[in-house]
Amino acid sequence: MAVPRPNRGAVAVPERLRAHGVTGRELEVLRLVARRWSNAEVARHLHLSVRTVETHVSHLLAKTGATDRSGLSAHLDP
């Protein structure tokens, strides 16, 4: 059974990230990772499991071509 997500799609993903296939939820994770939050901190803030955050980070690395978490922040607006 699917979990209802009332705010799904509420985050506007910049075109350059959307072109890489980044989702709104991944963008939320990206913004927090760029603040150097741990996966556990991101999970608590977004009400996700740590494993789900790990999956989002893994997808972000693959989609952006960044080699590590610190490289992800380069994909955010200055």
7-to-10, 25, 68, 78 alpha-carbon distances in Å:
5, 10, 29, 26
> Considering the chain, what is the average pLDDT of its residues?
90
Task: Check whether 4 has a pLDDT greater than 90.
Answer: no
pLDDT at position 77 is 73
Q: What is the CATH number of domain 15-71?
A: 1.10.10.10
47-to-25, 34, 66, 68, 70 alpha-carbon distances in Å:
12, 18, 25, 24, 23
Report which DSSP code applies to 20: T
- Contact (CB, 8 A) for 69 and 30: no
Task: Check whether 3 has a pLDDT greater than 80.
Answer: no
pLDDT of 31-52, one tens digit each? 999 999 999 999 999 999 999 9
Task: Check whether 78 has a pLDDT greater than 80.
Answer: no
Give the Cα separation of 14 and 72 in Å (integer).
14
pTM: 0.86
